[in-house]
Structure 1
């Protein structure tokens, strides 16, 4: 760990004083514990509410109240184009062209829709490669998609597992498996970051290997979007989906995000399930048969824009625009390294950090694996004003989101653990 870290509280205060992003902490509401802000390290599960959301929601309530159906065409943010208002900000966060991104539905719904577009089993080319221990929804989506094609998930889903005695994957093992599958591989479907271990995968290398073997590459970026900057377009990722309620702070049930590379999204003949909102606006209101999709990711929109499920995302993204994802990543690298350093000073044999030590292979999360009493310890943390989450078996996920977490928060966490655990 860097020698620049030390265990004094003064160090944390000085780090915050020199942090150009520290002011953004005041842009969010924190739950309280004993009349103090909690230590909130749970943005990987649900982000905090930005203070600008209330006014943003009230703006749309006013449009609805005063304009009724006229709000689709008038008012500060005409609803007809609401899904487009997040495109510029999201394109910066996930590294793509604006026409390659859209907002709609929720994560797993979008995953189903895009897998139907991109999974095309032909003869022996029917395998889907996933990481072992992928988030259950991703597993369910792949299983049920294969059943839709009368294929057996046990035969067609191939999982890459950690080596014996290890918790995370080696990139070379992933790439070797892709090459071994060769002509039998139809799709790689990976989490951009594993929810349990916090391991960030080499999406560029995985995508290149998939394409070399004639397969498509798709990613679930639920734990990546708003956490780690990526370059989906330049890496030629075929498609990606994510939720907006974690690091993007858009609230429970917020509309999800979709990326589709322009080589697919600009081709109106790329297969997809169609709906009125994905139809070309120039002909949409002719009310005629014949689906003619928009020649961008919006061509996958199906239903009317979810205004009240998108308004908080729009508000939160304005904060990301101001802070900048690269600056957030720079702070996150240091904040997470500081957390790692302090945890190591505890020298507590009750847990081990299973998230990769390599900063480039993780985001704003460290997963602490407890061989015993993990759930009990998690409950004790909650009772001490520490908001983190627990995932079976035995992992407490600690995620100091750089947009609203401070070095002082990390030190408070360390101090409580040192005293009570």
Structure 2
């Protein structure tokens, strides 16, 4: 059995509406639900409330003409246009043509209207409208498919460009890494080879003190190279998300005191290293290895970038929720234009000169601080000195 179609009869004549109703309900090929409106206002309101499959529209309604009704129907901006059959009087073909131009699909002359003609016309109009709607939906789906395909292709192109850009960046990073490591390794290697060669060829002619001096050079430079390897391994672990955060309670005063004593062996007689503590530093939970990386890198930077000596101060502070410590030196400082990228790997100040280093220290510190859910700030003036402050919650989440 066919679906039941809903049809609106908009005609101010009750007798005519009854005739059309009887004709349509007697259609052996189709079933209908009939809605009736005696005015344009009621008809338009019904179109808003209920989806109609077609409208039988009288040209002359009491509150507006059929043409005006068509215009109002368009302004309602229904998702799918309603098929309209205009009912005109005999000899109103000019009006019928205007109705077709305004959007009506067909017209019928009211005089001598036969049941089979009305039934066939309504069926044809609704079927035609349904075909048009199906065609429109098919086109819409095709358009959506075409658009989706284009978006997918654009996305693939974008992803390819992003991948290419990342590859370029990686190649630049590789080149930078190779150049940096080659340069930084060459200096200590040259010193080691020179000292070893001297000992090998002239050990019998060198005093005990001179021999010890060359051995010390070999040891110092080997330690420098080992530190560079350690830094590379640490930054690789941190930047690729391989680092594990293991929070344990420990006593900070002893921890900082031990590290500071370790670093004293690397300072010259021109350096003065002091450590002070204020506030409540108890109750701290953190990762001991990561905190050691933070402290050693900041302290070794302060020593290394103060080649002419000066005062280096480590200040540990605490309150109820955080511990704060800063490392302050009177070294070469950092030019303003270099500060923005200093926390990036392989970045160094433009004023470091011959001071050795890979530019990984602050990148390691920042990554370790972030694993503690902490913050790091840097204040510096060229030729005046640098102060780095780290704030860590006592209980990292």
Shorter-normalised TM range: under 0.3
TM-score normalised over the length of structure 2: 0.24
Query: Using CA pairs below 8 Å that are at least 6 residues apart, which structure has the higher relative contact order?
Result: 1
Larger Rg belongs to: 2
TM-score using structure 1 length: 0.22
Instruction: Return the structure number with greater helix share.
Output: 2
